[in-house]
Structure 1
């Protein structure tokens, strides 16, 4: 009954229930986006925290010495991929496509290296300061000592994850010395579980989906006063860690002379699961770059939890199962049935919209990127690659409403590549095989 009523009220839901692709335009988007749930001050503090930790990070991870202890990714142009997409989908992408290479972020090879690692570092800092082991004026390289590892070993960090968040928290938490417990949903890939165990984390597996893994992790953590649960659905620390990326991107765009203004629109396509990673980045981008950045979240047709949450205004009170979808997708990082209420509410005036992609399109894109650019991203990350195509197919009304039609020749389409560099070779080959079949 509820389903029929929702379909009458929001006809787009019926299209989504049929697993047809859509682009939903957010009519609550505002030129001056704002929220009372989060503040730019928290992003500035997060950036300062990461600066304090730079001496520790380059000590603990030799691969960060070249970047002076900063976890950051490059921008890459992808002209051949743009051409391949145009040919495959038989349409012109007006403007230039580029990739933000978070699939190659140091330490854990995904966007989760921003939020996940930041929250572990922030928790470690709070504990060490509270127990008189550290002051903010100290050289944080002291955290790499055996004495500090023994101190952190008394404490546990727990998280529920479909994979990449668990990896970033497990790798960082174990490096500092914490006991780490990762509650993994049924969608999590075996290689991610194996790598976590190899790093010394405890992995608890569930037959159920992401929401159950998070709920169980939260319950267990509540039983242990020395356990810190990293809550992917509600954490402001995670959100702040992701948002730092926007300030850094602003500087990178200036370095490569990409303008963002009324005549040079920037479109950003962010793969979305529960919403924390894309939400944090989107918040930061709108705060630092303003109204001329147009942000779209990308979701699989079987798991469009953020789209239905924003479209109906119900946020976490509606799940993909409520409209008859099964939440099963090749995009394991996006296999989430219910969106974060916190993120959904923050995003109400920030993002331009959401779109959906099929698993077949993800695998086609994966194959094209390898052939055209020798660029490997995991299937979840390819949700972003389809953004410029969806905009061309279904976004003309949005472009007209925002007076963008005659500015598209100067547009930049930025694909936020969320993961892939840590995927084992045999898994890469299996994905390519699937794409070819």
Structure 2
């Protein structure tokens, strides 16, 4: 590490609070500055077009997506959870229900599935088996599964990305290996194995699983590695969500402008999904969207990386944290450098949340609204609470105070639909 811990603490007085695993609220003073990106929104429009081409295939291959006409999407709904925390949130509280995304039941469905279908389309076209004008339902034929059997997919994951990659790859016919970190829940490994996916488990954390997945792919020309830390395809697939949310908000007559600010709270692990979503939202809404990333108190890798500017060169363990949390998808010690660099002018801030809050919120949400989401999905709900409690400086400096009663707070859910009943009971009892 370039800087000694003492120097870092002198420079960044928030670090001792992080070290004590206290919930913190960090504001990014670079937000809305000018930034040149190494890509444009074209990658997002391209991703949306490809997902639409594949819609007939999804509809044929997955019964659960037929109601959505083959489009992998979730609803935006009103939620009333604030009353459970005796808080008055100024404005309107909404939930983006990615815990219900078809096929993979989590936010990872868009990006993970997108990267695999892009790879599959490329292979099929290259071998003269598919053209862009074809009806993509043909990909559900046995002949295509036999073709894809000659190719391999590898990914390193703490859970939900592995699920989305494993489910779609196995359905298409690929040989797929998911390298799972110690944090991954047992039911996720079992579900994958039941689909014929090879699951390799590690005692170490997320970084080791990714390293091994990368290594496997480097040694085999037929293997495509899904790089959660650096993949532009994953990023583009996630960013499609922003286009869809804009349509959904417009359909609900929700305006986003200076007088109607939109606040978005997204749980963050290595950064891929929240990064892609945030890039898309910022491109569409500019300074009128205010995005905050949520991380566990023991795994604030994006906050630490962005605040210090060190990105992937600093690990949460270097400041004495354990990187152990019940929010398995967020148990990442080192953030993506690629995503962190893109977020420098996009994210308004990051905050941390204790595991105990996640379970309180999980229980309240289930009891009051009969909605079940994984613990990590509840990190988003702490955002509007923290903004109301200690976010006055942000609201004042951005001239938002007169408009807060018109604000919309969008809490982005991450996973939950595929959680088996016995695991739901365990979570609810915690």
Fold similarity call, TM over 0.5? yes
Deviates more, 1:246-255 or 1:134-143: 134-143
For the pair 1:37 / 2:38, whether they are aligned, the reply is yes
Aligned partner of 1:46 in structure 2 is: 47
CA offset digits 1:318-362 (Å, max 9, x no partner): 110111101000100000000000000000001101000001111
For the pair 1:122 / 2:122, whether they are aligned, the reply is no
Aligned partner of 1:58 in structure 2 is: 59
Aligned partner of 1:416 in structure 2 is: 412
Q: Distance in 1 between matches of 2:289 and 2:14?
A: 25
CA offset digits 1:266-324 (Å, max 9, x no partner): 10000000000000000000111221010000000000000000000000001101111
Shift of 1:25: 0.4
Q: Which SS does the other structure have where 1:66 is aligned?
A: helix
Shift of 1:34: 3.6
Aligned partner of 1:234 in structure 2 is: 230
Q: Which SS does the other structure have where 1:183 is aligned?
A: strand
Q: Distance in 2 between matches of 1:328 and 1:374?
A: 28
Aligned partner of 2:15 in structure 1 is: 13
Residues 34-433 of structure 1 aligned to structure 2 (within 5 Å): 34-79=35-80, 81-85=81-85, 87=86, 91-433=87-429
CA offset digits 1:151-196 (Å, max 9, x no partner): 0000000000000000001000000000000000000000000000
Shift of 1:17: 0.8
Instruction: Assess if the C-alpha contact under 8 Å between 1:94 and 1:411 holds in 2.
Output: yes
Q: Which SS does the other structure have where 1:73 is aligned?
A: coil
Q: Which SS does the other structure have where 2:273 is aligned?
A: helix
Shift of 1:110: 0.1
TM-score (norm 1): 0.97
Instruction: Assess if the C-alpha contact under 8 Å between 2:279 and 2:346 holds in 1.
Output: yes
Q: Distance in 2 between matches of 1:412 and 1:95?
A: 6
Shift of 1:39: 1.6
Q: Distance in 2 between matches of 1:35 and 1:82?
A: 38
Q: Which SS does the other structure have where 1:368 is aligned?
A: helix
Output the aligned Cα RMSD.
1.0
Q: Distance in 2 between matches of 1:345 and 1:44?
A: 22
Shift of 1:66: 2.1
Q: 1:24 aligns with which of 2, 23, 26?
A: 26
Instruction: Assess if the C-alpha contact under 8 Å between 2:82 and 2:88 holds in 1.
Output: no
Q: Distance in 2 between matches of 1:35 and 1:77?
A: 36
Instruction: Assess if the C-alpha contact under 8 Å between 2:298 and 2:323 holds in 1.
Output: yes
CA offset digits 1:210-257 (Å, max 9, x no partner): 000000110111101000000000000000000000001001000111
Instruction: Assess if the C-alpha contact under 8 Å between 1:38 and 1:346 holds in 2.
Output: no
Q: Distance in 2 between matches of 1:354 and 1:164?
A: 22
